Every structure is written in structure tokens, then in C-alpha cells.
Structure 1
């Protein structure tokens, strides 16, 4: 189904077999909390409940394990993110933005319209806008989107194949010996449902170069260069060095009081982590491109 007002239809993977109906499986999905069988019947009657091939579905149909169902869900109430999304660059293939803190890259869970993707789709009037990579909701900075489906794979490959050079800035307590670059390596894994990623034994899959580049009254400004892209990698590696990033609600310790502030409209304590620059050889033109955020961590 096409996007509606910039928001894609929701995909639900059915986790039960024919002993349950499609409707029963959907009502057990957290993302559809509050939905009723009557709601599903109305969607089905309007042709807005379909399978992976776009064929209409009846909620009473026996479910097929691991099959996909698409529908438009009711949008959650969201706290508006009161920050602009400046465009750093745009051509006929890509658009690069300077994402603010607290704005998710794309819809997930209770963050749907208050995301960079939906804002851009609405601003540019195109549902073809798609992220080439992601930034955490709490991280600000340079973020690249594609504008045409036929170029999407080429730009996404830059990140999947680690051909894009990314540099971050972070504010954290000063550790003077880190003026000499250090590289942190370990194995990071994140389990669905667990807020935090964890360091575990096994083959290394996470590597970051970290350097103190400036001392300010607010703390130390660090240059972070990730060689891999594990979830929360930079935040974990900074905490591991004893210099947890200012404003981090998860590392080194969980701080629920800090995490809850944005839900109450308080955006005064952002995670001081910014995707400072992004550079790559353009896969369409071969031209070297570099984009720099206008946001500061200090």
C-alpha cells in the first residue's frame, strides 16, 4: 500500500499459525494496541488490510506463520519535537539534513510523525524519500536520504559496506591522556526488548577511534571515528573509557529520570553526541562529497 501523508503502512509479521485468525494475531500486536476486530473489519472492507502481494485479507482468515500483513494503523499521540530539520544539500538523487536531537530517523514504536523521514516526505511532497542510513533518536547531525527508488541501493551500500567516512563529536569529562588517540575494540550485541547493548565474549565486531580534541568549561570535546556500526557503539565505548557522554540516559548507568524528560516536553538535556561529518565517493558520479553539521556539543 502507498504511504499516507508521509507514513508507510504498518507491516506485521504473524507469529502464530492456523490455530489463530489473522485478526487475533493482529490484536495481539503491541503496535496495534487499542485496535478492535470491528476496526480491522472496516480496514478490510476499505481494502486496507492486505498480504505481502497486496491481496485483500479477511480478519477471520486462518493465520499463516511468519506471513506479513500490511495495514494503516492509528497514529499515536506524540510530543512535538520543537527543533528545525535544516537541509544541508539536495540534488535529484539525495537530500542531506542536519538532524536535531530527539527526532527519530524513521517511524518506530510510538515515534511516527515526529521523525526525520515523515517530516521530509511532507516538506518535499514525495513518498519516495528514504533513509540511506540511520542515527539514534538521541543523536544529532548529518543524515542522508535518497529521493528516488532506483538510486536507494547504491547509497545504502555505502554504509553497509563501510565506504562512508563518519566522524562524530561528543562532550564528556576530560581525560587528558586521551589527547593521544585510542582505539576501543570488543564484541557488542543487543537483544530485542533490552534497552542497552552489552559487551560479550567472542569475535570482535565493534571498533572506535577516540581522541580528546578540546577542553572547555563544559568538559572535553572528543572526536569519535567508528570503524564499525554496532548499536550504541560510541556511547558504550566512551563509557568503557570512563568518560560517559553528557546527557546519556543509558550508559554507564540507566537514568530513567533523564530518559523521561522529552516525554514531558523537556528537551533541555540532550545527549551531547553529534554526527559531525559524513564523506564518501558518490556512487553515481564518483565525485567526493563531504557534509558537515552545524551543531555543537559544547
Structure 2
């Protein structure tokens, strides 16, 4: 089904699990699915009557039928109540293939969990009235900076492959306590893993999968340091974890080196006054469609 008001239909895979020794119906399984939390039986029935609960081929599903095999179902989820993120999503560049934005802090890249309309993807689709837009990569919700969207589904894989194949030179800027020893770039290579349901990622033993170069650029008037961070891989929370591991946690980080419950819960209470001081400041790559070198720089400081 096409996006509605910039929001894609939700895909839920129903599993043939037994409920009290019996096979559940499709309706029962949908109403119990975590991505559809809050969906009522009446709302599900109304969507089904409108032809908006469909299978992989777009055919209406039988809500009373049993779940006998893994079954993908598509429907429109209800939109959660969200605090409006009160910062502008600025467009840095637009052409036939790409839209490049300067994402603000606290705005997720794309819908996930309780963050749906307050995401860069949905905002941009609504702003440009363009449902084909899709992100070529992601930025963490708390990180601001350069974010790339594709306009043509036929070109999407080419741009996404640039990031997957590490063909994009990325630079970040961060504010953190001063460590003079980091005036010379430090190369960090370790293994980071993040378990579903755990807020924090961890450095663990095993083959390297997280590589960063970090250096101190200078000392600000307030006594804090400005750092250049160059990630060569893209693990979850990689730069935040590497900075904390060097003893210079990024200003405003609610998770590293330790969890700050007050700071972590602030955005969920509508408090956007203490952002993570981390910006994706620059992207550089050779365009896979035109062969031209591209360079996009954030205006944020």
C-alpha cells in the first residue's frame, strides 16, 4: 500500500505460535503484535472493511483465518502521540536524484517505535509532497547533521551501497572535555555489539567491526574541546562509545559512560534543551549515477 500522509504502511510478520494449545486467528495475532500496540478490534475491523489489511500480494487477509505459517501482513498503524521537535529540518541540496538535509537533534531519521511523524523522512515527504523519498543512510535520533535522501526507487540501491561498502568519507564534530593527548589523531579499532532491548552498546572481545579516528581540534572559550571524529564503520553509537572510552564523553550524552536517567528521559517529556553535542558535519563521495564528486557540509555549529 502507498504511504499515507508521508507514513508507510506497517509490515507485521505473524508467526504460527500456539496460544494455550491452539492456533490464533489472524486478528488475534495482529492485536497482540508489539508494533501495533494500542490497535483495537474495532479499528482493525474498520481498516479491514476499507481493504487496508492486506498480504504480500495486496489481497485482503482473512481476519478469522488461522496463522498456520509465517505471514506478512500490511496495514496502517495508528499514529502515536508525539512531542513536536521544535527545530527546523533545513534542505542543503536538491536535484533530480537526491535531497540532502541538515537534520536537527532529537529528530529520528525514519519511523521507529513511538517516533513516527517526528522523523526526518515523514517531515520531508510532507514538505515536498513526495512519498518516494527514502534515506540512503541513517543518523541516530540524538545526532544532528548531513542526511541524504534518494528520490528515485530505481537509484536507491546505488546510493545505499555507497554507505554499505564504506565509499563515503564522513566527518563529525563533537564537544567534550579537553584531552591534550588527543591533539594527535588516535586510531580506535575494536568490536561493538548492541543487544535488542538494551539502550547501550558495548565493547566486547572478538573480530574488529568498529573503527574511528579521533582528534582534538582546539579548546573553546568555555574550556571544552572541539573534536574531529572520522568513522570508518557505522556501528550503533560507535562514536559516542569511542569518545567515552577515551575518557572524553560527548557533552549531553545520556548513555555514555553511564546512563543519566534525567537526561535520557528529557526528550520523552518534551524537554529538548540539552542536546547531544555531536554533528555529522560532512559527507563526501563519488556519485554512483553521474560519476561527479559530491561534498555536503552541515551549517550547524
The alignment status of 1:6 with 2:10, answered yes or no, reads no
Q: Could you report, residue by residue, the CA deviation over 1:165-200 in whole angstroms, capped at 9, with x for unpaired residues?
A: 000001100000000000111111111111111111
Root mean square deviation, CA, Å: 1.1
Match of 1:58 in 2: 62
Paired residue for 1:259, among 254, 264, 271? 264
Q: Is the 8 A contact 2:191 2:204 kept in 1?
A: yes
The separation in 1 between residues aligned to 2:205 and 2:63, in whole angstroms, is: 45
The alignment status of 1:103 with 2:107, answered yes or no, reads yes
Residue 35 of structure 2: SS of its match in structure 1?
Answer: helix
Q: Could you report, residue by residue, the CA deviation over 1:62-92 in whole angstroms, capped at 9, with x for unpaired residues?
A: 1144321110011001000111111000001
Paired residue for 2:91, among 87, 90, 96? 87
Paired residue for 2:50, among 46, 50, 64? 46
Match of 2:253 in 1: 248
Deviates more, 1:262-271 or 1:106-115: 262-271
Deviation (angstroms), 1:218:
4.8
Match of 1:194 in 2: 198
Instruction: Using structure 2 for the length normalisation, give the TM-score.
Output: 0.96
Structure 1 ranges of 4+ moved more than 4 A: none
Alignment of 1:42-191 (within 5 A): 42-191=46-195
Q: How many residue pairs align between the two structures? A: 296
The alignment status of 1:229 with 2:234, answered yes or no, reads yes
Match of 1:289 in 2: 294
The separation in 2 between residues aligned to 1:198 and 1:65, in whole angstroms, is: 36
Deviation (angstroms), 1:259:
1.4
The separation in 1 between residues aligned to 2:154 and 2:175, in whole angstroms, is: 39
The alignment status of 1:20 with 2:24, answered yes or no, reads yes
Q: Is the 8 A contact 1:98 1:142 kept in 2?
A: yes
Q: Is the 8 A contact 1:16 1:25 kept in 2?
A: no
Deviates more, 1:127-136 or 1:195-204: 195-204
Q: Is the 8 A contact 1:106 1:117 kept in 2?
A: yes
Q: Could you report, residue by residue, the CA deviation over 1:83-122 in whole angstroms, capped at 9, with x for unpaired residues?
A: 1111000001000000000000000000000100001101
Residue 44 of structure 1: SS of its match in structure 2?
Answer: helix
Deviation (angstroms), 1:58:
1.9
The separation in 1 between residues aligned to 2:68 and 2:168, in whole angstroms, is: 40
Structure 1 gap ranges (5+): none
The separation in 1 between residues aligned to 2:100 and 2:218, in whole angstroms, is: 27
Q: Could you report, residue by residue, the CA deviation over 1:245-291 in whole angstroms, capped at 9, with x for unpaired residues?
A: 00001111011110111222221100000000000000111100101
Instruction: Using structure 1 for the length normalisation, give the TM-score.
Output: 0.97
The separation in 2 between residues aligned to 1:17 and 1:63, in whole angstroms, is: 8
From the superposition, tell whether residues 52 and 120 of structure 1 become closer, same or farther in structure 2 (CA, over 3 Å): same
Deviates more, 1:266-275 or 1:15-24: 15-24
